[in-house]
Chain A
Amino acid sequence: DTEVTQTPKHLVMGMTNKKSLKCEQHMGHRAMYWYKQKAKKPPELMFVYSYEKLSINESVPSRFSPECPNSSLLNLHLHALQPEDSALYLCASSQGGTGASYGYTFGSGTRLTVV
Chain B
Amino acid sequence: GQSLEQPSEVTAVEGAIVQINCTYQTSGFYGLSWYQQHDGGAPTFLSYNALDGLEETGRFSSFLSRSDSYGYLLLQELQMKDSASYFCAVRRGSQGNLIFGKGTKLSVKP
Residues of A with Cβ closer than 8 Å to B? Answer: 31, 33, 41-45, 48, 50, 55-56, 90, 94, 96, 98-100, 102-109
B42 x A50 contact (CB < 8 A): no
| Chain B minimum-CB-distance residue to A49 | B95
A41-B87 Cα distance, complex, nearest whole Å: 10
Partner of B42, one of A45, A55, A102, A109: A109
A104 x B102 contact (CB < 8 A): no
CB neighbours of A105 from chain B (8 A): 45
Interface contacts (Cβ under 8 Å), in number, total 59
Residues of B with Cβ closer than 8 Å to A? Answer: 31, 33, 35, 41-45, 47-48, 50, 87, 91, 93, 95-103
B42 x A99 contact (CB < 8 A): no
A56-B50 Cα distance, complex, nearest whole Å: 22
B50 x A99 contact (CB < 8 A): yes
A94 x B48 contact (CB < 8 A): no
CB neighbours of A45 from chain B (8 A): 97-99
**Which 6 A-B pairs have CB atoms at the shortest separation, nearest pair first?**
A103-B45, A42-B100, A106-B42, A108-B42, A48-B97, A50-B95
A111-B93 Cα distance, complex, nearest whole Å: 28
CB neighbours of B44 from chain A (8 A): 106
CB neighbours of A41 from chain B (8 A): 102-103
Instruction: Given A43-B43, A108-B42, A109-B42, decide whether A103 and B95 contact each other with a Cβ distance below 8 A.
Output: no
A100-B99 Cα distance, complex, nearest whole Å: 17
Partner of A103, one of B33, B97, B99, B103: B33
How far, in Å, is B66 (CB) from chain A's closest CB? 16
A55 x B95 contact (CB < 8 A): yes
A43, A105, A108 — most chain B CB neighbours (10 Å)? A43
How far, in Å, is A14 (CB) from chain B's closest CB? 25
A91-B97 Cα distance, complex, nearest whole Å: 13
How far, in Å, is B7 (CB) from chain A's closest CB? 14
